[in-house]
Structure 1
Amino acid sequence: MNITFLGTGVAIPQTDRVQSGIIAEIEGKPILFDCGSGILNRIFESRYNHTDIDTVVLSHLHLDHVADVLCLIKANWLCDKTNITIYGPEGTNEWMTGLLKIYGYLQGKSDTNIIEVSAGDTFTPDGVNCKITCSKGVHSVPSLGYRIESGGSTIVYSGDTEPCKSIMDLSQDADLLIHECSFPCGFEVTYHTTPDMLDGYINYYNTNVSCLYLTHLYPQMQGHEQESIEYLKNNLKIVQGIEIATDLMKIKV
């Protein structure tokens, strides 16, 4: 699998970080996980064609994870691509139906298939040989993490969440864990993660992952990136590689 970090930021603007979005390319098929503001242009910058994306998987419905979904649908329609399947947590169908009602000129222009999923569900997008498993995160709205298994490789994407047992269980023996890390060590926060919160859960549950990439960084993390990596490397001996993701970073798993 090939992973492209399209956006590694949050709802607050930052230099070189747009909102949340990741492409997992599986057997040549790009599957988009989250689609916040700026992601449509990042798809172009990453040299993917937006019309090749017919599957979007949403972790939750906060704007910094979904703002460009309708932009993607419209861009595809303008280029004669009309079919798209969107997986997401409870409420996704109501959200998309309401959004399309606001923009009446788009109604009937796109064949949009909405599939709501829940913790414990598994699914396989059309046209690819993989298994995607859902697990519940701890966030201010319903949020899901996803485990993607294909060709002997396993990737986990946490979505927005505090560190929690359900995501640790989902991540066991993964080749790559992409986990949000919104704030630096010592920052008091709920529904999000700091390095000193994350290492405690990985160690307590003995979560065996080969590599850990941190994403979803708030501006408060600026200037604390290296100390966060050093802290985690010193405290997570069971993880071989730890990095902070940047926009347009590409890795192969």
Structure 2
Amino acid sequence: MVWMKWCLSMQPMEPESRSTLPLSIQGNGVPESNDHEAEAAHPYPLFSRIGQCLGLRQKKSNCVLTKPPGDRLFPEDVGTVLNVYGEDIEYPRLRILTHTGCIKDGYCNIDDLLLMPDAWVAYSQWDGRALTPEIERLIPKCHTWSGRKFISDPTSVFVKAYGGVQRGKLNGAYPVLALVTLAGNGHSESVFLSSVHVFLESEGVEKAIKPHDWEILIDYWGKEIYAGAV
């Protein structure tokens, strides 16, 4: 709780007198008054300080985390996904048909897509998941039967997978979405790839012998599947 220690050390705390304690616990624990206005006028300085600190922390978080405008859409709200659009890959924008037949625009988070098969299909066709220029150099535009192939020399690759796909089958199966983080050449970049199959050409499970031989494999999601010398 480093942030709390920092917050509480910002100003010296004044000793708490009996008059600042809630009236309900003065004396021997017997309530001395039902005057709620008086009680509210003398809050704990510690609680007040923590509350102020939480407020500052919330303001700081609001400056960092941004969400697209519109209503949050939950899986139970979605009847049919009509379109996926927008520029925020963490909070995709959806146009949906609700269970009551209404068309509605809003957003979801990336984990919600796991519970929306229709959204997976729409997401796999969404231009907003395009690769960044830095990643574009590391992952050439070549497709194999088992997905997009790495032909690069990263020093570290971390894969996290969403969704599922039948082994050896891409057409007709739900798309897989993989968050792949590459580190190397003095920078680190992340990219989302869809319709990725699970397969690894080189021997070994978690450590690839030849990084340029791999294909992105979701069997190893949540693990660093290659760690070279940085």
Query: Is the structural similarity TM-score above 0.5?
Result: no
Bigger share in strand:
1
Structure with larger RCO (C-alpha < 8 A, sep 6+): 1
The alignment's TM-score, normalised by the length of structure 2, stands at 0.24
